Amino acid sequence: MPTVDEKQAFTSRLKQALKRSPKKIEAASQLATQFNLRHPAEPITPQAAQKWLSGTARPTVDKIKTLAEWLDVSEQWLRYGVTDMKRSRPKGAKPSDEAIRPTAEELELIRRLRQLSAYRRQLVEGVIEQFAMDGEIWKE
């Protein structure tokens, strides 16, 4: 049985995946409707969807699979928060100096980023973080 923390973590990942979904889901009833279109054998109620969104329940494995396929995310990531993709660099290996030395274009980008207001810098950092996650959690 999932712990409260596991349910909350699942909820966070589900909301993140829904936010990136082309079809915006803003309510539990919308989530239930869209889910049921993809999983008609075992439909869910808006109350069940609300429990998923509030962190009081986590769906069964078959429902997580349907959600992952629908939202185009890794099933492993949605269920456990881990990726099922292999890293390009072996664990513990350090990047070469060439890989971490910024280019002139990167230095200029950093200079321009530092000139932004704190709010705009936070927005840019959020966008970069979202793009960085693409290679780890979203299906390629």
- C-beta neighbour count of 77 within 10 angstroms: 21
Residue after which a domain boundary falls, among 54, 80, 106:
80
Residue 89 lies in a domain: no
Amino acid 128: pLDDT = 78
Tell me how many domains the chain contains: 2
User: Which residue bears the tokens 């429990």?
Assistant: 51
Residue 46 lies in a domain: yes
- C-beta neighbour count of 126 within 10 angstroms: 10
Per-residue pLDDT of the chain (140 residues; tens, 9 = 90+): 778 889 999 999 999 999 888 888 989 999 999 999 999 999 999 999 999 999 999 999 999 999 999 998 889 889 988 765 544 444 555 555 556 788 999 999 999 999 999 889 888 887 877 676 655 555 44
Residue 50 lies in a domain: yes
Burial of residue 16, with CB atoms counted within 10 A of its CB: 0-12 exposed, 13-18 middle, 19 or more buried: middle
Question: In terms of domains, do 116 and 73 share one?
Answer: no
pTM above 0.75, yes or no: no
Boundaries of domain holding 27: 4-80
Question: In terms of domains, do 74 and 128 share one?
Answer: no
Residue 108 lies in a domain: yes
List the structure tokens of 99. Answer: 């890989």
